Amino acid sequence: MPELPTPQFPAATIAAIVDALKAVAGDPSKVRASFAKGRCVRGTYVPSDRAEEITRSRSFTRPSRVLARFSVGSNDPNGMDADKLELRGFGFRLGDIHHRSDILAQSAPVHFAKTLDQMLAFLQARSRGPDGSPDLENIRAFSAANPETLHQANYIATHPLPRNLAGTTYWGVHSYPATNSAGETRFIKFKIAPVGTEIAPTKSDVTANFANVLYDDLEHRVTSGDVRFSVMALLDRPGDPTTDVTIRWPNEDNREEVRLGTIVITGLESDETCDVSVFDPANLADGVAHPPDEIFAARSAAYAISLAKRR
């Protein structure tokens, strides 16, 4: 596989997207531009005996400590966390200081925009008017002209989430070039699956709307035992799209997948531990390279700008 160029974008465009994310939320100060409400945890990572078939990255082929953050997509750090239509996030850091990888995953397998220009227009269409509400006609017109921006919302609407962070499956929406111990490179996607059967939502789960039900449940599970996830690599096939993060690979749910290892969440961390820095997706230890899409290329700079603003 030839080396793919990393797209470059002006900082002003990325800063505009950060500002637009905050504007959609009413411009709250000193909070993340997205996924503002979260819970910081710690644990360990144990690789599987097949990890080196997929990647030579020592962050995935060697045991390590894990720092992770569960979050919900709202920009309100005090908002309800059990909305079944609210995107959930799971960011985690594997490896050591010399072989570190930061992976960002979410509860839908696609992003809501495929380019930065489309992402900015998506957010601007949802900006609040003088009455504090977005213009629904603007949103409908934008969606009609950009139907791929509805893929994420449609997935969320048809896949209700459990009232449980530990039973949620998280996806990396990007296609990562992975090089194994034999020097062979192919694209993979990350899927972070709860160990055991995924906890299906009950009727009461779907309608629950308590402010902290997800985090209260997570804390109970962690303090009374542990929470485990399998880190899976979905394997590519010829012709798979690798630059459009609004679409899935064909028949993605039935892909060959390899378990790279297991994350075991063993304790709670102070939220300040996760808040003093960011999970930077550009941090990838040799053996996993940067995806070639526009959205990934802009993430690192966007998080740095957001961090500077909330400081």
Q: Indicate whether 153 pLDDT > 80.
A: yes
Average pLDDT over residues 160-165: 88
Is 307 a residue whose pLDDT tops 90?
no
pLDDT for the residue numbered 209: 47
pTM of structure: 0.87
Domain range for 213:
11-310
5 located within any domain: no
CATH number assigned to the domain comprising residue 243 = 2.40.180.10
Does any domain span residue 18? yes
**Helix 294-310 vs helix 116-125: angle between axes, to the nearest 10 degrees?**
50
What single letter denotes the amino acid at residue 309?
A: K
Q: Is residue 1 part of a domain?
A: no
69 assigned to some structural domain:
yes
Q: Establish if 169 belongs to a structural domain.
A: yes
pLDDT tens for 96-122 read: 999 999 999 999 999 999 999 999 999
Q: Is residue 4 part of a domain?
A: no
Give the pLDDT confidence score for residue 206 in this predicted structure: 44
Instruction: Let me know how long the chain is.
Output: 311
289 part of a folded domain:
yes
Taking 60 as the threshold, does the pLDDT of residue 5 lie above it?
no
What is the model's pLDDT at position 13?
A: 78
| Position 183 in a domain | yes
Q: How far from each other are the two terminal CA atoms of the chain, in whole angstroms?
A: 41
Question: What total number of domains does the chain contain?
Answer: 1
Provide CB contacts within 8 A for 190, sequence distance 6+: 103, 105, 171, 172, 176, 231, 232, 233, 234
Dump pLDDT digits (tens) for 6-62: 555 555 578 888 888 777 766 555 655 567 788 999 999 999 999 999 999 999 999
What type of residue is 195? Answer: V
Tokens at 296, concatenated: 């990934």
